[in-house]
Chain A
């Protein structure tokens, strides 16, 4: 589980047009610079936005990755709902029940 790395990838894509261009031109080379699990790599590559949501990726990051990969707003919302149906509840992060928050 390297949620931090998945989120860092999106954060860096969001910040840098050059990074986005490299990502579009050679996705595998960019992804190789992050410590990602096979499941994470697959979800990012496909992209499986719903699985990324279930993995715990923050929506404030995920919505931009979805837009980058061509998801309009309604398609983005639907992808997350489909992800919950297909992959189960969110595993970690803010969208898990708030029990751990003081």
Chain B
């Protein structure tokens, strides 16, 4: 049993880049929940943190788009975006190529994944790291699920990937923390930025926290697009964490719809058994 921690967090660039424009009380509740998750993750003494993200054309583009990719480097760099725009300073982030390789080979037993020895983190990973590993002293293993450029991996394959990731973690002695990061309903970077379907989010979170596999796999992209925006495709990251903790439930630490952050800001922890 080497998966020691699992959670999910939001990653929208406004969370850091437009921090001053948010309603302070809601923002601070969200930040406090992120800090709670950080402290609890630290208590599990992880050797590495796997971040399952949904990056936004920073490394993966329509010329050669992997549905699934795992980083395999001793270091990464981020953010790729303008430092002022994101309000996060560019820096080197530690990785662990040897550990990545072991995990990738294990995952490949049941799931085809690409790997990348170079990876420039965008806000999709940098915003979570800014709060969860603020000292950048924990090796990070980045994982990407293409949630941006259709055709997208079917939800049941994102689930299978989460299972494969769990099997890989359980086969190694290192202590692994797993954090999925995506939006639920949101329409990022469009004229509808700031729109949040709170009812949809709450139903999704209820299903996620109950780890209701049938309900979670019951979503279709057409329905998600219609009701939760193209940003809703990022539920794939949540599903991979649910799959990695199948049979266990979770606890919601925060759900705050913050329009200037363009997302219902979410922090949750899943039980790992």
- A residues adjacent to B (C-beta < 8 A): 4, 7-8, 11, 14-15, 53, 58-64, 67, 73, 77, 80-81, 84, 94-95, 98-99, 101-102
Contact = CB atoms under 8 A, between A and B. Distances in A.
B57 A81 contact: no
Nearest to B120: A15
A77 B226 CA distance: 20
B57 A61 contact: yes
Tell me if A's interface is mostly helix, strand, loop or mixed.
helix
Contacts of A73: 18
A59 B150 contact: no
B230 A15 contact: no
Contact of A102 (B80, B120, B220): B220
Interface in B147-166: 148-150
Tell me if B's interface is mostly helix, strand, loop or mixed.
loop
Max chain A Cβ within 10 angstroms of own Cβ: one of B81, B191, B225: B191
B85 interface: yes
Interface of B: 18, 56-58, 61-63, 80-82, 85, 120, 148-150, 188-191, 193, 220-222, 225-226, 230
Nearest to A73: B18
Contact of B63 (A8, A63, A98): A8
A62 B193 CA distance: 13
A77 B191 contact: yes
16 contacts: A14-B57, A14-B58, A14-B80, A15-B58, A15-B80, A59-B189, A60-B148, A73-B18, A77-B193, A80-B190, A80-B191, A84-B191, A94-B150, A95-B230, A98-B221, A98-B226
Contact of A101 (B18, B85, B189, B225): B225
